[in-house]
A and B are shown apart, each in its own frame.
Chain A
Amino acid sequence: MEVIKIVGTDDTPSVTLDVANEIFEISGRSLPEDVAMFYKPILDWLDRYADEATGSTVFNFKLVYFNTASSKMILDILLKLEEIHESGKEVLIKWYYPDDDEDMEEAGEEYSDIVDVPFEQISYSLD
């Protein structure tokens, strides 16, 4: 599959979707001017990946900020990963949050309540 590699800006996240190197990651800040347009290629990619996935998928979320419009798109990504998991393939979500950011920690908790997929919360220090 083709590799998606988007370099982040101050309002859009960095995204890497690379099957060969087993890197699935979205990080940084997400408040794009047009959320649907930004996330569409990512969701389309995941649709194709759902058919082709063979090995396990460890998907890293390492966001420092996202607005509410993005939060819906993040749920859509998680729902696609849930589908892959339901089809019998191994999926693990790793939700990273800065250790002083209770809102980002809580966002992870809320997502893990909504989607039925193995979910790990990992705190890290920004220093």
Chain B
Amino acid sequence: MENSDFLDFVYNFSDSMGKRNAELVYKGEISHQVTKAFTSLTETSMLMEQEPNSVQKKVFHVIVEFLQNISKHADSLETGEDRREGSGVFLLCKDEENYTITTGNVMMIHKKDAIASILEKINSLDREGLKALYKQQIKDGRLSEKGGAGLGFIDIAKKTGNKLNYSFVQLNDEYTFFIISSTISRTQLSD
């Protein structure tokens, strides 16, 4: 890449981030340490903004759950030595009204229908329905080998009070790119 091209890219990238109110963008391996770094950075910034405690906790929770999903479930397009499971992209955006947390990761295509149907179900439920589904899942669900309890998306929808936005971008016959986004209102939620 030409040097000036690269510097243009950096400028345009920064400009795009600004236009989309992106505060934090990351692409790469999601480890426990990376999760802790992002939650800690975000907490510090929310403290400075004097966000209500409940907003801080919800943002913290969505970051933890989304990143944990990637570290436990993300697949890799590469094979052999280049294979890096548990990688993805993470964006934290903030405007006047909302925080929006978005992640994207490579997923094997055969998992798509199961994920899409649980997300459809979650988005079709009201608060009471989500509480019931959460209770059922925590009682019946077993902790998977990777330590997931199958509760993350349900709990996020329940706590934020907002639908989960998601899509799949097909990469090839075997893999799809799964994008999911959660919005947290910066004003106190009213029951």
| Residues of B contacting A: mostly | helix
A69 lies within 8 A of B143 (CB): yes
Chain A interface size, under 10 / 10 to 19 / 20 to 34 / 35 or more = 20 to 34
Query: B56 to nearest A CB, angstroms?
Result: 10
B36 lies within 8 A of A103 (CB): no
Other-chain residue from B32, B60, B138 in contact with A72 (beta carbon distance below 8 A)? B138
Docked complex Cα distance between A75 and B138 (Å): 8
Docked complex Cα distance between A34 and B147 (Å): 7
Q: Which residues of B contact A35 (CB under 8 A)?
A: 143, 147
Chain B interface size, under 10 / 10 to 19 / 20 to 34 / 35 or more = 20 to 34
A11 lies within 8 A of B152 (CB): no
B61 lies within 8 A of A72 (CB): no
Other-chain residue from B53, B134, B149 in contact with A101 (beta carbon distance below 8 A)? B53
Q: Which residues of A contact B52 (CB under 8 A)?
A: 100
Docked complex Cα distance between A73 and B148 (Å): 11
| Mask: chain B, 50-77; 1 = CB below 8 Å from A; 0 = not | 0011100110110011001000000000
Other-chain residue from B61, B139, B149 in contact with A114 (beta carbon distance below 8 A)? B139
Asked whether any CB of chain A lies closer than 8 Å to the CB of B29, the reply is no
Q: Which residue of B lies closest to A70 (CB)?
A: B149
A71 lies within 8 A of B138 (CB): yes
Asked whether any CB of chain B lies closer than 8 Å to the CB of A51, the reply is no
Docked complex Cα distance between A64 and B37 (Å): 19
B36 lies within 8 A of A72 (CB): no
| Shortest 8 CB-CB contacts between residues of A and residues of B | A68-B151, A33-B32, A72-B149, A68-B152, A68-B155, A67-B64, A100-B53, A68-B149
